Amino acid sequence: MEKINNVSEFIFWGLSQDPEVEEICFVLFSFFYTIILLGNLLIMMTVCLGRLLKFPMYFFLNYLSFVDICYSSAIVPKMIADLLAEKKAISYAGCMLQLFVVHFFGCTEIFILTVMAYDRYVAICKPLHYMTIMDRERCNKMLLGTWVGGFVHSIIQVALVVQLPFCGPNEIDHYFCDVHPVLKLACTDTYTVGVVVTANSGTITLGSFVILLISYTVILVSLRKQSAEGRRKALSTCGSHIAVVIIFFGPCTFMYMRPDTTFSEDKMVAIFYTIITPMLNPLIYTLRNAEVKSAMKKLWRRRIFLEANSK
């Protein structure tokens, strides 16, 4: 059967059809996006300039912040602009590109969080061999694996969608191009594609979540042998990771580990992993991490010292 595609653009329904609600959302999400950019850039500057990259945990934290910026930037600026636009349109090519970028960085973030859990497992359960196991070469290979894994996942998702025929309607009940809302517009049976999409996303989400649960369970059990101070430091660090995992994986599980169906709540749930998590990551890792706060203070003192000497 020859592919028929009469759709050159898609129209988003957006978060709301009420102009007053859209104006409120414009101010709110503009503020959130500013925090995402400033917060994650601050984390990256602190890690790089504070010479924390030599520690594996901060090596991965630096790239987690970078992925958060890229991930949210693929969605939020367009969403903010659409809140004040009369016609919320995106070209067919732009929709496929957004679909690719969103799944690429979203999947990469899942893998980075999983690698960070393994890093904490080695640091707490095998402290004497930590720097040997998590040396720079291995960290680079693990980071490369997260990027490759995200790319393969995203290519599969997009390849499944682009081969479908779209002949109208072209209105997407969402504020960005995601797999399930787009599949609803295809003018052919998408059952098989929906099963493959769900299996692909579900395997990654569930598999990573199980690995994370096992890692943190082993860590918590091993803490019984640690000193009181060791337990306090380990729980502080792991608490940050667990908070991020819950906020990120909860909504992702709801969205991608189910059959090819959509619900009215999907847009509200998607806000958590597209906006809230990238915004909270810097706050969680900064407020609960003594080393990051210490590095920030040193950088701030250094700046004040340099400015005083330049006068």
* For the chain, domain boundaries: 9-310
**Cα separations in angstroms, 35 against 127, 142, 227, 276, 296:** 35, 29, 37, 10, 17
Superfamily of domain 9-310: Rhodopsin 7-helix transmembrane proteins (1.20.1070.10)
Separation of alpha carbons 229 and 216, rounded Å? 18
pLDDT tens, residue order, the chain (311 aa): 456 677 889 999 988 888 899 999 999 999 999 999 999 998 888 888 877 778 888 899 899 999 999 999 999 999 999 998 888 999 999 999 999 999 999 999 999 999 988 998 888 888 889 989 999 999 999 999 999 999 999 999 999 999 998 887 889 989 999 998 899 899 888 888 988 988 888 888 888 888 888 888 888 888 777 777 667 766 766 777 777 788 888 888 777 776 666 666 788 888 988 999 899 888 887 766 666 767 777 766 665 555 555 55
Separation of alpha carbons 69 and 35, rounded Å? 10
SS3 241: helix
Its pTM stands at 0.88
Please, are residues 13 and 88 in contact by the beta-carbon 8 Å criterion? yes
Which residues, at least 6 apart from 4, have a Cβ–Cβ distance to it below 8 Å? 165, 167, 187
Per-residue DSSP letters for 257-274? SS-S---TTHHHHHHIII
- What is the reported pLDDT for 288? 62
